[in-house]
Structures are given as C-alpha cells and as structure tokens.
A and B are shown apart, each in its own frame.
Chain A
Amino acid sequence: MANVNPRPGDPAITPVLVAEHGLTPGEYEKLVAMLGRMPTFTELGIVSALWSEHCSYKHSRNLLKTLPTTAPWVLQGPGENAGVISIGDGLAVAFKIESHNHPSAVDPYQGAATGVGGILRDVFTMGARPVAMLNSLRFGSLESARGRYLFGGVVKGIGDYGNCVGIPTVGGEIVFDDAYEGNPLVNAMCVGLMHKEDLIRAKAEGVGNPIIAVGARTGRDGIHGASFASEDLSEASDAKRPRVQVGDPFTEKLLLEASLELIRSGHIVAIQDMGAAGLTSSSAEMAERGDVGVTIDVACVPVREKGMTPYEILLSESQERMLVVAHRGRESEVRAILAKWDLAAAVIGEVIAEPVYRVTEGATVVAEFPGSRLVTDCPRYSPESREDPEVAALRAADVSGIAPLPDEIDPAWTLLTLLSSPTIASKAWAYRQYDSTVRTNTVVGPGGDAAVLRIRGTNKAIALKTDCNGRYTYLDPRVGGRIAVAEAARNVACTGARPLAITNCLNFGNPRRPEVFHQLKEAIAGIGEACIALSTPVTGGNVSLYNESPRGAVYPTPVIGMVGLIDSLEHITRSTFGTAGDSIVLIGDTGDELGGSEYLALVHGVVAGAPPACDLKRERAAIDALLDAIASGHVASAHDCSDGGLAVALAECCIGDQSNPTGLDVHLGDLGDVSPRGALFGESQGRFVVSSPAPASVMRVAERYGVPARVIGSVRPAEDGFHIKAGESELDSDVASLAAAYHAAIPALMSSERLWSNAARQPALVNA
C-alpha cells in the first residue's frame, strides 16, 4: 500500500464534514477500519458517492436479491449496465430503466434530458444500438403553474435529447396525482438491439491494459449528484441546482456511434458510462467486476477548466463521457476511431495486478483503497419495517357505500369526467413533441397499449411498455407490485407479444422510515411473485429512494418496464376497434372492485378501499388465452382494462384512433352482485376488451384456458353513438363528445404555458 497524505488545502476531516458527506458515524467507522487510518478529503468524497443510496443500493440490495432473474432467454441479468435477452435469429435486446427524479424536480428540462442521455449510454455500452425510448412520468396537478412548468419542461427535455440523438420515443405512461406534487418522477427506459456476439460487459481485465477516458471533458457540473439523489428534497434543494448536470445530445450522438464502432473493432476489453458518481463509480465498478486493481491519474483527465482538484474530477457528473479499458498497444487505433467522430480520448490509468484501487495526481497518491472493498464492503441495511396503521385502515374501509354524486345519475357524466382527467386523457400533447418514427421501425407508436417495433431482417417485432399504479401500491404494496407487472404484461400481450422480461425502477420515500421500508419490501415481494407467475424475470433496474419533500413521500411507485416478442408481423394487434359490425368480447371476470380506483379518487376525492385483487394464475391464463386467440387470427383489436375500468377501456377503443372513430352498443347483462358503477368504473384485473369478427372462436380458445369470456356487444359506426347498458344503468353518449373530452383535456390545460419554450435550447453552450 502506498503512503496517502492529505493534499495541501484539503479541509480537515471532522464529524461535521463526514455528516455533510452523508455518511453515518457507523459508516465512517467502517471506512476507517477498512483503510486502517483516517481517510483523506478525496477518499471521503469517493466513499460518499459510492456508498450513497443511488450507487450502493444499501437499503434495497437484500430485497432485490429475492427477485427471480433467470430464464433460458436471459443473456445478462442484474449487475451490468443493462439487462440483455435473446430474441432468436442471433439477435438480442438490451434494456434498462432509470430514474432522474431529483434533478428533474429542480431543473425539469436538464433533469429529464440528462436522464435520457444516461440510460441511452447504459444500453449502448452493452454493444446494442438503441432503438427505442420510453418514459414513465408522474407529476402533481396540471391545475398548478408549477405542475405545468414541470410537465412542460420534462417533456421538452426528453424530446430535445432523444430527437437529436435520433432514437424514437415510442411510449410509456404519464400520471398526474397530488401525491407527486412535491416530487415528480421521471423514469426513462431505453431498449437496444444487437447481435449476440457484440455483447460486451463492463469488466476490467488484463494487467497492463490502459484505461481511457472518452468523450466530453470533465467539468465541475453535477458534483455529488449521486449523493443529492440520496436525500429528501427540501427548500434547500434549489440551492443544489449545480448538482444537476447539463446535457449535450449532439455529443451523445457522436459518442454513441464512436462507442459502437469501438466495441465492434475488437480493440477494447470493457466500456462503461461515467454516470452517477462519474469517474469514481465507473472505474471502481469495472475493477470490482473484473476482480483486478486499477490506478487512475487525475492529472491525465481532460478537464474543462483549470484548477480542478482530484476530488472534483473524481466526482464530476459531466455528461457524455465513457470509460474504456483497451487492449494494450491498441491505444492509437482507439484514438483514431474517436478522432473520426471528433471526440477526445486520453489514457488516464491502467489495470494493475496489485489488488488496490488507487488514484494519483501525477506522482502523488491521493486516494487508495484495498482491493475492491470500496464496492464490496458497502454497508447494507435491513431496517425496521412496519405498516402505517392509517394505510391499513384506509385499505380496510368499505367504499361500496359511498353515495353517488347527484351528477352520477347519468353515467355518461362520470365517463366524460374520467376521460377528461389528465391521467386518462390522451397524452398526444406530450408525445407529439417526441420523434417516434425515426429509424423506421415503429409499427405502433405512443398511444397504443404497448409500443411495437419491427425487427429488420426477420418477421418478428418487439413490444415495449412501462406500467405502475402508485395508488394501488400505496393502499396495498404487495398487490400494487403484482399489478404493476401484470398490467405491463397485459399491455404487451394486447399487441400480440409474449412477455419476456422486465426492468424495474423502484421509486419510494425514505427507507429509514419503517412504513416506507415496509412498502418497499412488500412491493418487491409482489413484483417477484408476478414475475415468477408470468415467466418474466428481472434483468436489472434502478432504485430511487428519498422521494420525499416537505409535502411528504410520493406514492410508492415501482415502475415496470417490460419487453415482449411477437413471433410474426401478422400477429401485431392494435388497441382500437377497426370495423363496425365486429363483436366485442370481454375476457376476464368483473367484480365489484372500486377500491383504489381512478373513479373514487377523481369523482369522490377518496383514496381508500382494497385495490382490486390480482390472481396471478388467472392473469397468466388470460394472457395465454389472448395470445392464442391472436395467433389463431380471431382478434381484430385487443385493449387492456385498467384506469377508469371497463367504460373507459371501451371508450378508448372507440376514440383512441382519431382518424377512425367508432361507436358501440354494449349490454353487460345480469350484473349479479356487482353494482352498475362497479361494472362500469371498477378496475378488476385480468380483463381484456377484444373485438373480433369471429367471437365464438375467441370464446372457444378462452374456454380451453379456463378463462371466462363473453360477447358483450358490437362495434357500431361512430354516428350510431356509444351505448352501454349495465344493469339498471344506461350510459349514452355521442362519440364526438367522448373524443373531445379525451383529446382536448391536456392541450386545454397547457395552452397558456410558454414558460419552457425558450429554455436552454442549446445546452452545451451554457457550459462551454
């Protein structure tokens, strides 16, 4: 071990400084014991970043270990930059979802843009070319100026970044709820395609191999971003705006092309994004995976400004940078590829035999840790877990007795209210700002149940979706976790795709509060159960904790990003009705399940009751039946029944495609114990609305799988109107009114907003 001394000018290590770095006294003791001495300021900074929640998963790792992660088609599970699954024909799909919640709360434009940039890099560092982006977004109400500012800024940030790099943004979900007022959630998912043999892992190997910094220069932006993301948001968070990074999608595009060329050149051993905690985490993690030592000389790192200290260089989160381990002797070839793309490359270190993580500044050692203990000795916690009794009481509440409002005499009023609520209404205002067709593979873009992309050179397609219902998860975290997976699977299945695997982004509050840790534990258990039942293992993801503001914690929101495979292009199925005269078949059972529903929250302002039951065997059977019916050619359209229940699902089938609106005539028949509003607006799981010219065939298939299915009506021309009879209740509307409510709601709310329009158009110039 080398002699490590404080650098001249370093602050003294005091308990206050340690606390400012987010280390508990216990964690500090652990660090001292590992080093056998006091850490230097630089070392304290390194540990502060690597042991932050964001990098270390210290409160979630023990729980994540319980998730199923294997299947014959999984080529790479959790632990790498992205998961990878095989889709046959020698091809593989790399995908991952990640949060950028905290940065987006203080700077929605840059926060969202750099979130997109980071997840793109995670995918192309696996050797895959990114082919699609999805986003799972949560905001407070659009009635507030701040809500509109955040929504508008995030959408523009996502669009400007993805559009410029040239990756189509094809789907996702957007939810508006007061629970996210103080803490918006911005989760970005990237999906890439590769030949299996191009798969590369971020594992440093080969003593003597050079470590090369590639791409943008290192500046002072984003220092301690990972630590910032590991604490609650507060009034002081705005003062931490400098911890938000600034993105440059143009450099990202060059870096993408250069990285893929590097990977295919055979000149490099490993490559990793310098993401959260920058150079520190990328170098330490690559060394740990390869079980080798590394030495990095910060004096060799290309910087944007003079006088940067080792501390700053190591912890900078400047964007669009990569760390590469090359084969020794190939440095000039690597440089030539980067020069072609006008990017810089500098050898900043090498892989060494000595089991040590060492940082030097020229000849002086400024930080040194034994072996890979920096990563492996990270603390892990399983804190106390206890359900909030208030939540238990809410769940136990009987919501069936809540008296209908006078307006509800006409269920069309209720339906129009739901269709015009921003959570259910068309999100075209947002996705029209995203290029969804570049790369010419998008068969079903934003607005469908799941996005569908054809795979060139094959007769296959992939289906992609993100899903989560935070309100369900709040009321019952285990059921909410199950439903998040099941709903994503249903959406994917509606396009004709067999669900294959998931990535997850777990957005929760402060895990040191027992009621939050309870939510995390239960939700992960629910996700695991559903993944086993649906044969969709977890291939990776991200945990975002401390999503709390002075207004409290967000709803626990475990977002699921799912990938499915369509075997034949002929099986691609859309969610909207196509042809008047087709029969409408409801697959699945309807209970009187209003608990946790959009209806109760929106119409009655009530968040209570047990969320709908999620019977995973039945979910699996319903999905299998639907896929069989689609493959047999009996299904004209298929749509998942979710927020707003059957009435909303039916309306969406009629008005979702503005160029081809249809009407319908539906009789739900004998409702049994189910109330009319339960039948119309309850959110029973495991249901699909299918249209078919051959309903008897659909029902025969369903019967084979033991899945209830029945004809409830038929598709009509739009001018015939929209009629549903549910017991004694009759819902009548003209189709144009439904369409107007659904399509005009968000544009009307956003029409006066120009706040973000001129914001940071040319981000790189801001920092240059």
Chain B
Amino acid sequence: MKFGIVTFPGSNCDYDAYRAVVDSLGEAAVYLWHKNHDLQGSDVVILPGGFSYGDYLRAGAIARFSPVMHEVAEHARRGGPVLGICNGFQIACEAGLLPGALLRNESLRFVSAPIAVRVENANTLFTSGYADGQRIVLPIAHGDGRFTADDATLDEIEGSGRIVFRYVDDAGEATAAGNPNGSSRNIAGIINDGGNVIGMMPHPERALDRLLGSDDGLALFESMLARVAA
C-alpha cells in the first residue's frame, strides 16, 4: 500500500508522517510536491501538519489552491482515503472536503500537550482498530484548533456519527475542562459523509512509540491498512 504525503511550502509534519508510514507501518510512502498535478499512484493521501504558506490569510486558505489539491479532491471524490492532520484538517476544511472551520484557540494561545480524546465512532475506515468510547492519548500542537460550524451542520455530523474523536477530561467525559481549544461540542476529529476523508487536530503520527510517550496512534494507521488493503 502506498501513502502519498503532500509537502506544501511550510508543511513541517510531512517528515513525521513519512517516518510513521515507513518505519512504524513498514509501508511505502512518497512525498507529493504541492506544485505537481500527480499523486504518483498513492492509495492514501495524507495532508500533514505545519504552517502551509505561513498560515497567512488564514490557516489552510492558500494551500487549498495548490495544484496538487485538485488531484487530492479528485481522489477524495473517487472514495480514496484522505487523512488530514492539524494543518491538514484546516486545509481539508478550506478545500470543502470537510464541513466547518478551525478558528483561533479560545485561549488565543498555541497549545502543545498530550491530550485525551475519546473514540466516538470506531466503525470508520480510520478507527476500526479502536473500540467505541475508547480513551486514547495523542499530542496536540496548534494555535487554530477550535472547530466550529453552524448548529445545523453540527447536528448533522453528530447525528450521522461523523464526530470521530472528542476531547475528554480525566474522567473520560467531554467537558469544558477537557477541551483544550474551545472546539464546538469538544470535537477533535470529524469524517466526511462518504467516510473516506478524516480531519483531526491531534497528531496520531506522533503517537506510534511508547518511548515518545504514547503509541495510541498506531491503531489509526493499522485501521487504514486493514480496510484499504481488503
């Protein structure tokens, strides 16, 4: 299976995503240059974290116009899996691959910490390796992570099981205390209605090795492998 990892100018988690695929999964990975109209036959596209175009104008707002994004959108329309992490989530929202938007954190400060999230839907391409309601720990590192959408949209994605991850407190509850950025309904990750595009602020690619604090992200990559390869 081949993972294509897009490098925009200012991407800085492309390398981590690459190492995650190659070192932790033992699968093939290629970098996809933002100026090219070519996914190089990738089965899965990863939109990595970072500060594409320096977050100028608005996080993700310029990257969505990159040449490669045309092909990424086509891939998504065909049902191809797309994993948007952090800045990749912001880009996916800006590109209309996912509903809603990511605003500046409520604290107005960047926040970097290991954080607890609950798996809200373990029946997706990206989460079948988890159990429903499972509490996992993943790092977050973002300044613009406050997911927002109008109430109708929030109701729709919630009602259709498309909230995939929620921030939770020590007791595993989706409370304000457990919400690091003020996201609506504690949303940490969502999926599109086709079930093939996921966007999440936490970094699963940074949680693949106990040595670095957590390997809770591994199941996400393994879920993709199991389902896409099947």
- Residues of A whose CB lies within 8 Å of any CB of B are 156, 159-160, 163-166, 248-251, 253-254, 341-342, 431-443, 454, 456, 569, 572, 754, 757-758, 762, 764-765
CB of A163 within 8 A of CB of B108, answer no
Residues of A within 8 A of B203 (CB): 437
Given contacts A163-B143, A166-B12, contact A762 B56 (CB under 8 A): yes
Please determine whether A438 and B16 come into contact, CB atoms closer than 8 angstroms: yes
- B117-169 contacts to A, CB under 8 A, are 139, 141, 143
For the complex, what is the distance from the CA of A328 to the CA of B206, rounded to whole Å?
43
A762 — which chain B residues lie within 8 A by C-beta?
54-56
B65 at the interface (CB under 8 A from A): no
A321 CB to nearest B CB, Å: 17
Q: Summarize B's interface: helix, strand, loop or mixed.
A: mixed
> Which residue of the partner chain, among B12, B56, B112, B208, contacts A765 with CB atoms under 8 Å?
B56
With both beta carbons as reference points, the residue of chain A lying nearest to B20 in the complex is identified as A440
Shortest CB-to-CB span from A214 to chain B, Å, is: 16
Q: Contact: B51 with A754, CB < 8 Å?
A: no
Taking a contact as CB atoms closer than 8 A, the residue among B10, B16, B110 that contacts A433 in the complex is B110
With both beta carbons as reference points, the residue of chain A lying nearest to B24 in the complex is identified as A440
Give the CA-CA distance A754 to B211 in the complex, in Å.
36
| Contact (Cβ within 8 A) B212 A443 | yes
Q: Which of B10, B55, B109, B141 contacts A156 (CB 8 A)?
A: B109
**Interface flag for B94 (CB, 8 Å):** no
| A249 CA to B110 CA, complexed, in Å | 15
Max chain B CB contacts within 10 Å: which of A253, A440, A442? A440
Which of B53, B112, B141, B203 counts the most A-chain CB atoms under 10 A from its CB?
B112
Residue B113 at the A interface, CB < 8 A?
A: yes
Taking A253-B10, A437-B139, A440-B206 as contacts, is the C-beta distance between A163 and B51 under 8 angstroms?
yes
Q: How far is the CB of B59 from chain A (nearest CB, A)?
A: 11
> A319 CA to B37 CA in the complex, in Å?
33
Docked CA distance A142–B208 (Å): 39
Tell whether A440 pairs with B212 under 8 Å between CB atoms, given A163-B51, A757-B108: yes
The size bracket of the interface on B is 20 to 34
Contacts of A439 in B (CB 8 A): 15-16
A764 touching B56 in the complex, CB below 8 Å, given contacts A432-B112, A569-B211: yes
Determine whether B93 belongs to the interface, using a CB cutoff of 8 Å to chain A: no
Residues of A within 8 A of B54 (CB): 164, 248-251, 253, 762, 764
User: What is the bound-complex CA distance between A431 and B141, given in angstroms?
Assistant: 11
Please name all residues of chain A whose beta carbon is closer than 8 Å to the beta carbon of B209 when the two chains form the complex: 440
B82 within 8 A of A: no
List 16 A–B pairs whose Cβ atoms lie within 8 Å, in order of A's numbering: A163-B112, A163-B141, A249-B51, A250-B53, A250-B55, A254-B9, A432-B109, A433-B109, A433-B112, A436-B112, A437-B141, A437-B203, A438-B141, A442-B212, A569-B211, A757-B108
| CB closest residue in chain A, given B14 | A166
Determine if B206 and A164 form an interchain contact, defined as CB atoms under 8 angstroms apart.
no
Q: Mark B200-214, 1 if CB is under 8 A from A, else 0.
A: 000101101101110
CA distance A252 to B54 in the complex (A): 10
Complex interface: chain B residues within 8 A of A249 (CB):
51, 54
| Cross-chain contact B56 with A438 (CB below 8 angstroms) | no
Q: Does B103 contact A (CB under 8 A)?
A: no
- Known interface pairs A253-B12, A254-B9; A437-B111 also in contact (CB < 8 Å): no
Interface check B2, CB cutoff 8 A: no
Complex Cα–Cα for A249 and B10 (A): 9
List the B residue with the shortest CB-CB distance to A248. Answer: B54
Q: Are A166 and B211 in contact (CB under 8 A)?
A: no
CB B201 to nearest CB in A, in angstroms, measures 13
Question: For residue A569, which residues in chain B have a CB less than 8 angstroms away from its CB?
Answer: 211
User: When the two chains form the complex, which single residue of B16, B55, B109, B206 contacts A757, counting CB atoms closer than 8 Å?
Assistant: B109
Cα-based distance from A572 to B212 in the complex (angstroms): 12
Residues on B with C-beta less than 8 A from A764 are 54, 56
19 A-B pairs besides A160-B110, A249-B54, A253-B9 with CB distance below 8 A are A156-B110, A160-B143, A163-B110, A164-B10, A166-B51, A248-B54, A249-B51, A250-B10, A432-B109, A435-B141, A436-B112, A437-B212, A438-B16, A440-B208, A443-B211, A443-B212, A572-B211, A754-B108, A764-B54
**Which single member of B15, B51, B143, B211 contacts A250 (CB below 8 Å)?**
B51
Contact B13 A438 (CB under 8 A): yes
Q: Chain A residues with Cβ under 8 A from B20's Cβ?
A: 440
The 5 closest A-B pairs by CB, nearest first: A166-B12, A250-B54, A757-B108, A435-B141, A164-B51
Partner of A440, one of B110, B113, B205: B205
